[in-house]
Structure 1
């Protein structure tokens, strides 16, 4: 097979060369690497002509709307990550006979650890304390002990389940909610399922771990956020589209919350004017929840999906249903 990566980034080039390009070449396949953007639709479509498949990193956004139907002979889209639906029109791909694959679970523990790291950073005011010492001062500000407090986890997918277990191990009273009940999975989780409104009304900290879909977009509304107790904490390492970020920022500015930690944004890099940067209890990180050495396996697994497809045994296939 002859494949192309159009939206490559220099920071990933050596990893992809080692874990994808060279192994594919050893099996008689070719992956050409380019570091371009999808913003120029015509250039993106032109770049893909003559290729059997596309390897998508995803950091440059979704494939252009006209892409799939404009590349004759395209058979495979191998997405480097979990949420392929955000980057590829899977229903259209199916109608055109194009297979879409993803990496269903590659960084659950890494993202969960980052969520807990943000929770600690907010609760113990770590960035604020660091800034105080660096300024030559020695002011001590009161933090929150997490043990004994209530942690609400929104979403019981692989990452959410890890956060539930870690929160329980910290001595927190964990409660969770998911759009669909999963008794066979939830039976093995510590804590208990509660309605979403109750979760917000009773949690000292809430961590978001839902997949972004049409049904979950904006699900964490201003009304839900207003239900939070005074001095609660909100953590989002899932998708910005789940959360009314403006309402969250308004609560921070009013002093209603102890703080918030965000690793995901509607546009990346974010428009900083949309955030109250003067609020030291707002911690922002550049979508690095999955950036660990172990989670870099995502590139390799996406490459292995290509080999499986070429061998006639596709795996990790994403469907529109």
Structure 2
């Protein structure tokens, strides 16, 4: 069984749910406390052992590539002024040589199409998909939990969690062959099922471990919901050929592609911040 070394990060979306904030700043670069969302995502991937991050970008996303590069003038000024702590924080996210690749999605054709754009860089090996607007906080990195599950059962692994009560019709819901413990075999996926028809209360979060055979299916995948090439449609086809397991991960998810989700993430991470947490709590309490 090949190890999971690479992760695909689809970052070409327009961020329509957080406009106008994402008009000139990519939604993935919006701040959570003192650093952009992507900083946390990359930290999660590194903690899970990912060696190569593949960003699928689009027009107006140059800031992402610039963030993961040196800013010579800024670094020189920080060093000259002795602000070593800030300089270290700035340098912490920089990649090792060859750790990151960037491929362009020329038009917005859906998540499935974005993943397919990374096919030549991924090659013939299993890979992770990390949705950057889904910030997932846990004691053990969520992607690491997924890779642990993959190392146990192989095949394909989808990270899931319970949907808010009465809101299963807003998500992609998994069907399971029994439910015992946190890791169970999947029998299907249903996109936004009408209330009362959902096969479970578990929705697909933002982390996947997929086998490379998904690329062949995506190459001829018909357009689905929203007139886009949907990753879940190809996953359903792959499920007929290979096993899928759903992992109910231990942690909390913040949908940072949503204005309230972004706010919740900022509050939660501010309260947990080792240096700012106490001041953040006092500031939030003063507003209540």
TM over 0.5: no
Instruction: Identify the structure with bigger relative contact order (alpha carbons < 8 Å, sequence gap 6+).
Output: 2
Q: Give the structure with the larger strand fraction.
A: 2
Name the larger-Rg structure. 1
